[in-house]
Structure 1
Amino acid sequence: MTITGGRAATRITAPGLVIGTVAGLFAALFALVAGAPAAWAVTGGLLLAVPLAVFGAGCSALRLSGRLRTGAFAPIALYWLIAFPLARLIQEVGTRLVVGDGFALPPQPGSFLVYQALISIGFTIGFVWVQERLVRGGA
Structure 2
Amino acid sequence: MTESTRITAPGLVIGTVAGAFAALFTLVAGAPPAWAVTGGLMLAVPLAVFGAGCSALRLRGVFRGGAFAPIALYWLIAFPMARLVQDVGTRVVVGDSFSLPPQPVSFLVYQALISVGFAIGFVWVQERLVRGGAGT
TM-score range, shorter chain: over 0.9
Residue in structure 1 matched with residue 33 of structure 2 by the alignment: 38
Q: Deviation at 1:101? A: 4.0
More RCO (CA 8 Å, sep 6+): 2
Q: Please list the CA deviations of residues 41-96 of structure 1 after superposition, one character each: whole Å capped at 9, or x if unmatched.
A: 00000000000000000001111211112222110000000000000000000000
* Number of residue-to-residue matches in the alignment: 134
Paired residue secondary structure (1:23): helix
1:132 aligns with 2:133: no
SS in 1 for 2:42: helix
SS in 2 for 1:99: helix
**What is the Cα deviation at residue 8 of structure 1?**
2.7
Following superposition, the deviation at residue 100 of structure 1 comes to 1.1
User: Are residues 1:9 and 2:4 paired?
Assistant: yes
Q: Which runs of 4+ in 1 moved over 6 A?
A: none
TM-superposition CA deviations, 1:19-51 (whole Å, max 9, x none): 000000000000001101000000000000000
TM-score by length of structure 2 reads 0.95
Q: Cα RMSD over matched residues? A: 1.1
Code of the residue aligned with 2:59 in structure 1: it is L
Pairwise CA distance, 1:105: 0.2
Cross-structure match for 1:58 = 53
Identity %: 84
The CA distance in 2 between the partners of 1:13 and 1:137, in whole Å, is 13
2:79 maps to which residue?
A: 84
Distance 1:137 1:59 in 2: 15
Give secondary structure in 1 for the equivalent of 2:99.
coil
**Offset at 1:9?**
2.5
Work out the CA distance in 2 between the residues paired with 1:50 and 1:80.
Answer: 15
Query: For residues 136 and 65 of structure 1, what CA distance do their matches in structure 2 show?
Result: 16
Q: Residue 88 of structure 2 aligns with which residue?
A: 93
Runs (5+) with no aligned partner, structure 1: none
Q: 1:108 and 1:137 mapped to 2: Cα distance?
A: 40
Match among 107, 110, 113 for residue 112 of structure 1: 107
